[in-house]
């Protein structure tokens, strides 16, 4: 069995047999998978009236534990976007009634972002459906392959320095 990346590798083998293009085989497949997985996630979230970033914010707040709130700075680190972008995103989610801003009484410059009851209800409803959607997208892998792939991807991320949430 072959995939689209095999065709690319074969073309390079024909045109530049002097190159060992093994990295293209891995990076190409990861890139193609990333686009396909992103599309599947985007479609799932759209069915539920959310953008992917909104789900990510809701999930980040939910897994932080009660009272389901984080500083704006902590959310900024978790989202890896600019402060202007996170402000815009929080504004949109606040307008939807999913989160609220809580001013720190001890430090008026500090703001915490908290799930509203509606936001908590939504994320609790969606997280199980989200996991089921991800499992559907990975259904082509048997349990042993899943475990092996998980370990290989972890090793690659660790080798590139991605070892924490900050």
**Three-state SS letters, 78-144:** HHCCCHHHHHHHHHHHHHCCCEEEEECCCCCCCEEEEECHHHHHHHHHHHHHHHHHHHHHCCCCCHH
Helix axes 22-47, 117-137, angle to 10 degrees: 140
Q: Which residue has the higher pLDDT, 150 or 71?
A: 150
The share of the chain scoring above pLDDT 90, in percent, equals 78
The pLDDT of residue 73: 82
Average confidence score pLDDT of the chain: 92
The pLDDT of residue 30: 97
Model confidence at 77: pLDDT above 90: no
Model confidence at 109: pLDDT above 80: no
pTM: 0.85
The pLDDT of residue 106: 76
Q: Is 94 exposed, middle or buried (0-12, 13-18, 19+ CB in 10 A)?
A: middle
Work out the pLDDT band at 80, boundaries 50, 70, 90.
low
């Amino acid at each position: 069995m072959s995939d689209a990346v095999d065709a690319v590798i074969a073309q390079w083998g024909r045109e530049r047999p002097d190159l060992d293009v093994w990295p293209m085989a891995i990076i190409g497949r990861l890139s193609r998978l990333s686009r396909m997985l992103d599309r599947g996630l985007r479609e799932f979230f759209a069915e539920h009236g959310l953008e992917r970033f909104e789900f990510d914010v809701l999930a980040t707040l939910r897994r932080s534990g009660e009272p389901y709130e984080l500083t704006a700075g902590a959310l900024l680190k978790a989202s890896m976007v600019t402060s202007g972008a996170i402000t815009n995103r929080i504004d949109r989610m606040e307008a939807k009634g999913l989160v609220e801003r809580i001013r720190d009484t001890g430090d008026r410059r500090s703001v915490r972002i908290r799930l509203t009851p509606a936001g908590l209800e939504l994320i609790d409803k969606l997280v199980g459906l989200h996991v089921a959607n991800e499992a559907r997208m990975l259904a082509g892998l048997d349990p042993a392959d899943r475990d092996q792939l998980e370990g290989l991807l972890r090793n690659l991320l660790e080798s590139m320095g991605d070892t924490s949430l900050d």
